[in-house]
Amino acid sequence: MEGIIIDFGAIFKQTLVLQMINVAILFIVLKHFLFKPVTEFMEKRKQGILDDIKKARDKERNAEVLEKTYRKKIEEIEDKETVILSNARKEAIEMKDKIVSEARDEASKIVDRAKKEVETYKVSAKENIKTEMIEVAGVISKKVIDIEVDTNKHNEIIEDGIKDLGELEWIG
């Protein structure tokens, strides 16, 4: 096969041109069908991430504002709690003082009633003793009469007995 000379340079040039055309067509097709959608997807993804970051920052700011608000409310509640407890302590002390005062007044009234009752019993006991002494004096005088004492002497004894009874001081 001697007579056939193949010119690889011309084939190479033709192949090179065809390959370049193929690469250009492939590039255009890929750019249209692949690069453009991938680029759009990447842009959308980038924008979504940026939006998510912005939302996260907004939520973080809102959370900080809420935290400050709640801390302030907690401080107000603690202040109110302190005031309420302070007032409750004051009211409890006032109630205690009132109850103690009322108890002292009641105890004083009970002691006064007891003293009056004791005094009443003393007077009653004195009256009972006087009555019994008069009865005893009557019995004594009857015995004296039975002994035949004269009437003057008898009256004198009774009067002395009654005077002695009237002059007695009772120790109580």
In a domain, 148, yes or no: no
In a domain, 153, yes or no: no
One-letter identity of residue 61: R
pLDDT at 59: 92
Q: CB within 8 A of 145, min separation 6: which ones?
A: 154
In contact, 122 and 109? CB cutoff 8 Å? no
pLDDT at 146: 64
In a domain, 129, yes or no: no
pLDDT at 1: 46
Q: What residue ranges of the chain have pLDDT lower than 70?
A: 1-9, 144-150, 154, 165-172
Domain hosting residue 57, numbered range: 10-122
pLDDT at 39: 84
In a domain, 151, yes or no: no
pLDDT at 171: 45
In a domain, 51, yes or no: yes
